[in-house]
Amino acid sequence: MARHLADLTYEEVAEIVSAGPSVAIVPVGSVEPHGPHLPLHTDTTISEACAARAADALEGAGVRAVVAPSVPYGVTEYARGFSGAIGVPAAALTAMLRAIAERLLDCGFTHVCFVNNHLEPAHDVAVRAAIDGLPEGAASVACPLTRRWGRTLSDEFKRGECHAGRYETSLVLAAGKRVKGTLGDLPKIGLSLSEAIKAGKATFAEIGMDRAYTGAPAEATSEEGDELYARLVTMVVTEVTEGLAKRRPA
């Protein structure tokens, strides 16, 4: 079971960071609508489940890792107009994440990894800005928006039809979280978020996502979610190990 920083005593944390290279994984998400079937906490849930599985994988490889408390608020401009869309300014998010990273490093952690599964471009930019200027290898961002990792995921994800669709619904099911209603009642919607963003659309409403989802949630399964988590864990573990390699003295 992954160790969670908030559950530890200060003495336990001191023991972890003094025993050798150690990693703090910080899940990042959002509070925004994900269709009529998934909770507002969906992006954070995915980041938390991914972080916990990645921490277990790192521990299995001999790297001490803990999951730090999540940052559940993000930049959520595309969800404007929907109830429950609670966003924060990009500058505020960057400042908070930067402070968290610096304090974790001050505590003795060798590397901090922000695991982000809220895929709004401005949010991703704000998260990455938080690690700019930190010592080389001290921090990383693990996010499937980058081409390196996005191409390893499902076809629906690659098409950009993945907001509360088959991709995210499968991940939520695999995390053991509640899905409301009958998924079979939700028709497939073939709207690509990535293409709409490139075309200058600025909100879900402009894109035509009247119920705040796109893709095929009815096709989701927990088995597919587990397969997707395996790929997301590879993303996190790789970002962390590459960062640690840069932190080690020659």
Q: For position 115, which CATH number holds? A: 3.40.50.10310
C-alpha to C-alpha distance for 143 and 157, rounded to whole angstroms: 13
C-alpha to C-alpha distance for 74 and 232, rounded to whole angstroms: 20
Stretches in the chain below the pLDDT threshold 70: 248-250
Q: What is the pLDDT of residue 248?
A: 63
- Give the alpha-carbon dihedral of 49, 231, 37, 175, to 10 degrees: -30
Q: What is the pLDDT of residue 250?
A: 41
Look up residue 237 and give its two tokens: 């573990």
> How many domains does the chain contain in total?
1
CB-based contact 156:127 (threshold 8 Å): no
Q: What is the pLDDT of residue 87?
A: 98
Q: What is the pLDDT of residue 247?
A: 87
Look up residue 112 and give its two tokens: 């901090």
The torsion region of residue 133 among left (phi > 0), alpha (psi -120 to 50) and beta comes to: left
Q: Which domain holds residue 144?
A: 3-247
Where are any strands of DSSP class E within the chain? 3-4, 22-28, 64-67, 111-116, 139-142
Q: What is the pLDDT of residue 1?
A: 85
